Structure 1
């Protein structure tokens, strides 16, 4: 589950009609292209959680390798899982720097910091709206809003230091994962010891009982549970009130304890990488072609290899968790942050090379349009998918096979590409970009495009 950064047009701030840092066409165009790609790609990861019970992930991993759902899951997990969210996070960091690069006006009541924090706080509100009104548990806007509040002191930091901070966030996540892995291994050892003692008719200590219960619970979680699936499907096919009541504790957990334990470090790691790469000129297409080719090869070589090995680890764990723990094999999933960052940079490098070669200008334009309206398109995905799958809409929740969900993805892609292109022929920005921008500056922004005004592809911060 993964989410989105937003775009800015050259006419963004009415009080500052010319914001020069936003007018460098190469930087602007390429960021919008990458953002559009990430916006469309994130639906690949989100659609299973819109249309199927979250417990169905275990069922997918338990299928025979020849099954179309298994093969679809293998491709999506290896190539896209976590990478679209990584790109969004990197671009969010770039967007923050672009916004904060605006010159302060000594004669003005508010400075750039005031507008930045107002903008970011409104993003938190939109995230809560997405989670608790549109009822999408996978919202990312809240995460970006909270993380955005922390970025102001880092705006002038050098790329190397930003990368070091990103590395620290990754180390924290690795440490958390290591502690969890050690706890699982201890529970496994306690479980095996408990079995031996029970055979000998010996009484277990409270610690041994606890370890045994924890391991039994884990084995239960990694087995398909049709009864649990049916319960979730029944709730998600209910009325709005039923779905709201069912999702409320999940959404509260995701935007509170789960956020502070995991999501904040996950997002900040990629945000700081994005800030560093933006300062180095990576996203603005300023680096030599040779470096983009090297990044493409290295990113895909490292990321896709680790992604495939991690997927195989997941399959093995679901089929026999005890054997995996007892074998002491290397847990490739522990390298999750490295592999998703590497693959994300591979995706970005490929797009930048295509943009530079000008071989598919129509595709670059289509992605740029979607990227320029990323905020509107992101929330639109929540609206469309909940109305297709939830009970208060068409009620298709749990009715489509895993691979069939991607037919829905293709349809939404076509719609959003066409909608974005048509909308930007007549308006300067997306409808929700306009709302967010007006709230940021507390003043109604110009919306309709002048008759003789040509579309401007840009990608900065709203």
Structure 2
């Protein structure tokens, strides 16, 4: 019975992780892997369709897919730590080494795709080590404080109290379009690691992604401690879905109203972004809760089983997407950024997804892990005593 429960838990987690990878892939394609361009030559009806697809994809996935990925990152940390603790071993040193390896993977991935999240995850993950032994209550308090974005709240308070502060629009990615369109292969790789990476880290800091990611790591770790992905805790996800959905609706309306009724842009902009971070978190919980609740139905499990293949090889698929996407859309490759709007790019994304599903199925027939996962695992346990 216990083995069946564990198998089901792993299956649903793999499906959720696969869903996140799928969402990231589709969203990145319609955004041309951070090289957003809307071709002028397309017919008006295609432009209108592109606009709708772009809006819907961002509404469903933007800020939510990465959050699911972060939540499950924390959950995986718990599984690895818990396994080693049961063996009477201290996993902290290995985990730190493991994150250094992930950091190197992130450097490679960043060279192809400037919006890479692996470097950010690897850096933030080190801050799990000082707190992993804290009580559930204290971990939850830290997570809530991070989700509230105290730095952003302090900044907003300061802006409100000083009417002389004006809104200044900052375009962190202004210098990236030129080299993505016209740079050679090696120029793009180097520029992504310098200009692009600086832009991504500054943008992530402004959007509160660092604190939110850390909070999600902690919540994923707590989810592992509480065993919430086990079938007997399904009622918990029912409550999560209700509360998260209510919160998402309220925050969605609040964000719209803040832009409409706060006339001073220096205030409305950061307030809107703060509310947006809370909204994305709530929407993310809706996705995770919904998948957990629907997973009791055999029909749903069959329909979503393909996502488990993607989820088991998440690192491989994520990095593969970056390589394929850069070749398809950037100037040194096929330069499809110039020809494809959201509609065509969505179709391309679906084709890549199908390829990755079949590749994962083929690979996992003879391997326990994906290619990158195997390298990561072997390097993690190198010179194991």
The structure-2 alpha-carbon separation of the partners of 1:378 and 1:21, relative to structure 1 and needing over 3 Å to count, comes to: farther
Does the 8 Å CA contact 2:72/2:220 hold for their aligned counterparts? yes
TM-score scaled by length of structure 1? 0.70
1:175 to 130, 151, 157: 151
* Distance across 2 between alignment mates of 1:365 and 1:341: 25
Matched, 1:67 2:48: yes
State which drifts further: 236-245 or 83-92.
Answer: 236-245
Q: How many Å separate the matches in 1 of 2:84 and 2:134?
A: 17
1:47 counterpart (29, 37, 52)? 29
Written as runs of structure 1 = structure 2, the 5 A alignment for 1:325-344 is 325=265, 331-344=271-284
Do the aligned partners of 1:236 and 1:242 also contact (CA within 8 Å) in 2? no
User: Secondary structure in 2 aligned to 1:286?
Assistant: helix
Aligned counterpart, 1:85: 66
2:331 to 388, 391, 396: 391
- 1:121 aligned onto 2:100: yes
Aligned to 1:239: 184
Aligned residues: 376
Quick one: distance in 2 between partners of 1:337 and 1:125?
A: 28
Taking the aligned partners of 1:155 and 1:232, their CA distance within structure 2 comes to 41
In 1, Cα distance between equivalents of 2:253 and 2:57: 10
Q: Which of residues 136, 139, 144 in structure 1 aligns to 2:121?
A: 144
* Structure 1: gaps spanning 5 or more residues: 1-19, 191-210, 222-227, 445-462
2:84 equivalent to 1:103: yes
Matched with 1:269 is 215
Report deviation, 1:104. 5.2
Check conservation: 1:278, 1:284, Cα contact below 8 A: no
Mapped contact 1:38–1:84 kept (Cα < 8 A) = yes
| 1:348 pairs with 2:329 | no
1:281 aligns with 2:223: no
Q: For residues 160 and 22 of structure 1, do their structure 2 counterparts lie closer, same or farther at Cα, with a shift above 3 Å needed?
A: farther
Looking at structure 2, the residues matched to 347 and 328 of structure 1 have their Cα atoms a distance apart, in angstroms, of 28
Alpha-carbon distance change, 245 to 440 in structure 1, aligned in 2, over 3 angstroms: closer
CA spacing shift, 1:328–1:111, aligned 2, 3 Å: closer
Question: 1 or 2, which has the higher helix percentage?
Answer: 2
Q: Deviations over 1:77-101 (max 9, x none)?
A: 3222211111111111111111111
Offset of 1:393 from its aligned partner? Answer: 1.9
For residues 133-172 of structure 1, the C-alpha deviation after alignment (integer angstroms, 9 at most, x for no partner) is x2x111111111112212123323333322211111123x
The alpha carbon displacement at 1:28 in A equals 1.9
Give 1:374 deviation, angstroms.
0.6
Residue pair 2:115, 2:197 contacting (<8 A) in 1 also: no
Q: Is the counterpart of residue 31 in structure 1 residue 23 in structure 2?
A: no
Contact kept, 8 Å, 1:119 with 1:436, in 2: the verdict is yes
CA contact (8 A) 2:252 2:279 kept: yes
Q: How far off is 1:398 after superposition? A: 3.1
Change (3 A) 1:22 1:129: farther
Map of 1:4 onto structure 2: none
Partner of 2:310: 370
CA shift, 1:373, in A, is 0.6
- TM-score in terms of structure 2 length: 0.83
Q: For the residues of structure 1 that align with 2:28 and 2:336, how far apart are their CA atoms?
A: 15
Question: Does residue 431 in structure 1 map to residue 346 in structure 2?
Answer: no
Whether the 8 Å contact between 1:277 and 1:283 is mirrored in structure 2 is yes
State the 1:414 CA deviation: 1.4
Instruction: Find out whether 1:295 has 2:240 as its counterpart.
Output: yes
Answer with 1 or 2: which has the greater Rg: 1
Query: How far off is 1:387 after superposition?
Result: 1.1
Contact 2:81 2:91 in 1 (8 A): yes
Query: Distance in 1 between the 2:5 and 2:296 partners?
Result: 18
- Name structure 2 gaps, 5 residues minimum: none
Distance (whole Å) between structure 1 residues aligned to residue 367 and residue 134 of structure 2: 36
Check 1:326–1:265 CA distance in 2 against 1; reply closer, same or farther (3 A cut). Answer: closer
- Once residues 75 and 101 of structure 2 are traced to their aligned partners in structure 1, the CA distance between those partners, rounded to angstroms, is 19
How far residue 131 of structure 1 moved from its aligned partner, in angstroms, is 0.9
Equivalent residues of 1:48, 1:402 under 8 A apart? yes
The alpha-carbon deviation at position 416 of structure 1 amounts to 1.4
Q: Deviations over 1:244-291 (max 9, x none)?
A: 3543443341576556664421210211122222322223343143x3
